[in-house]
Structure 1
Amino acid sequence: MQRRHLVRPVAVLAAICALTLTGCGTETREPGTGTGSAGTDRTIRAHKVMQLTQVHEETGMTLLEGPTFDSSGKLIVVDVTAPAGKPKVMRVNVEKKTADGLHTDSRGAYTSAQFSPYDGRLYLSDYAHGEVVSLAPDGSDPRTFFTGKVDGAQMNPDDIAFDEAGNLYVSDSRGLSEGKAHGRVVRIGREGEKATVLADGLAATNGISFDADYRGLWISELTQNRISYLHLDGEGGVTSKHTAIRVDGGIAQTDSIAVDADGNLYQGLHGRAAMAVYDRNGKRLATVEVPAHAAGLESATNVAITPGGTKAYMTVSGPAGGYLYTFDALAKGTRQSNGG
């Protein structure tokens, strides 16, 4: 949000601050460019499914994020800047093109959503309050899973990913508002009791997803337009970290990440209604584009690929509102195909 959302541009950060009535810093910056990998092989055209939200008068924007499928095949989507009383979490029937509100409250600014393989609950990252909360699948029974400081510093949790045992991995965009590389990757045990910093000194950590084999984590750093890879030791630790892909984003910045069954990465772009697709070796395979006539759409933040299928659903937002677009992914969807 900052996700891209909050992490993002000044307008989003200001909107979240307005929602929470807290003092926040702002920053101005030039988008990263990077050196890039191989040129795009092809363009994939996305098609509109439906409009989900309009710009909220209270916050001056709408920002869809966190698409993830529930056990019944419904798509869960969050609206980062939704004010109190408006749906902050929605459940979408993509076949019937209908949506209903699943959850709202008076304070949360939710930037991602994932279902835990451990307890089956829906987990949400609250960027503004440094918390992770959970809901029953029907939206009831809200609980605080984790809150407080990690190694002496409050988190700004953006995206989340679960390992197979149900431990939670968080992209912490700490330092974004000051323009400093204080971002982190934090691991929280599945009971919510122990939090450990796996990597720090990152440039506005945003997207996070395991690779296809759960051997490592792909993370995007929004203010450097790069994707880094953390190799894991299988016991909750990191053995190495390196810059894996430099994204030629132009005016756009790297947002959320999803991974398909073949290990391909779908990199959302904040500032452009498109996604960049790479293979695990960094080769640019394709660019997913929203039709040029779809005016007023500025960011394709995130994507979810149907479990066991190739139909992908992308969250796209801008002054025209918040929309779902669909396209055919390059490979089938798995748990890691829900983009944080």
Structure 2
Amino acid sequence: MIEDGRTQRRRTRRRGDLPIATIAELAGVSPPTVSKVLNGRGGVGEQTRQRVEALLRDHGYRRPLPTRTSQGLEVVFHQMLGSIAIEIMRGVEAVAGTRDCTVGFTDVHRQVSAGLPWVEPLLLRQPRGVIAALSGLTAQHCELLAASGVPLVAIDPVGDLFPTAAVGTNNWSGAVAAARYLLDLGHRRIGVLTGPAKDLSSRARLDGFRAALDHAGIPFDESLLRRGVFTFEDGRDLGRELLTLPEPPTALVCGDDLQAIGVYEAARQTGLRIPDDLSVVGFDDIDQAAWLAPALTTVRQPFAEMGATAARLVLALADGKSLTQHRYEMDTVLVVRGSAAPPRAR
């Protein structure tokens, strides 16, 4: 049987060589629309964008990229507190520097706020690997990076992104240590501020707090629980709700240090003194924790170590190695300062 030239070309075409015009025809859009998706530009509806991206992935498309001029790692943030981001970058740089690998960073707040994609523009820089330290990382983002052959490691993701490797801390044991410290001081009526229910770290910290109370034989009082987000404003507002109860708590465990700083303001507004009238414990140990008066007792997360671990993992993946596990957890430590004391007799 004699094959014509078109048949031969179809049979010899490699995955990823499908023309943009063909992708456009399959997606029911124009070639310029496919080009916009490839280059991360706006002006494309979300459903259309997803349809085009799916076709590109299905056909193993590899977009033509500039010649690689560096072996760089990209660290992606989204409105992360500066002191935490700097520590993560410091850890990444410490590892990357030993491999003659440059490090860049991107804050995708503008793209996310405008509903624009951020993965595609990142891929145009052809990074050796990506470290994502942002709560909005989704399975679709992971798939896009995987389809382009770019290894990814997530730092403290909100949900389970298996098989994407993740680096975090033992939030459960950190919360246990915080609660036990307050229990050992004599507190029994302890309030809790936590983060979004969908957040894995929030759930782990709340579970650890419950476990510490359960081990001490103290029932958990649901009326002393408030869910919010990890911000100063929620710490202030939710803290004020608890502190103005007819029977307020004598201590508060906060989901992070920003919430704890907000509780300091709530205590000021309600005429309470820390730690004389109220004990407060945070989580993270950001720089500002040591600057408060009194300095904040908090659970320290080793952000530099997390960044270094993520860098080692993503470079191993870039070298074609397999990882031995899906999630890597660092230890936390309770840093005792001046914001907690035994409860006053009432």
TM-score by length of 1: 0.27
Structure of larger gyration radius: 2
Structure with bigger RCO (C-alpha 8 Å, 6+ apart): 1
Query: Going by fraction, where is strand more abundant, 1 or 2?
Result: 1
Query: When you count helix as a share of all residues, which structure comes out higher?
Result: 2
TM-score (norm 2): 0.26
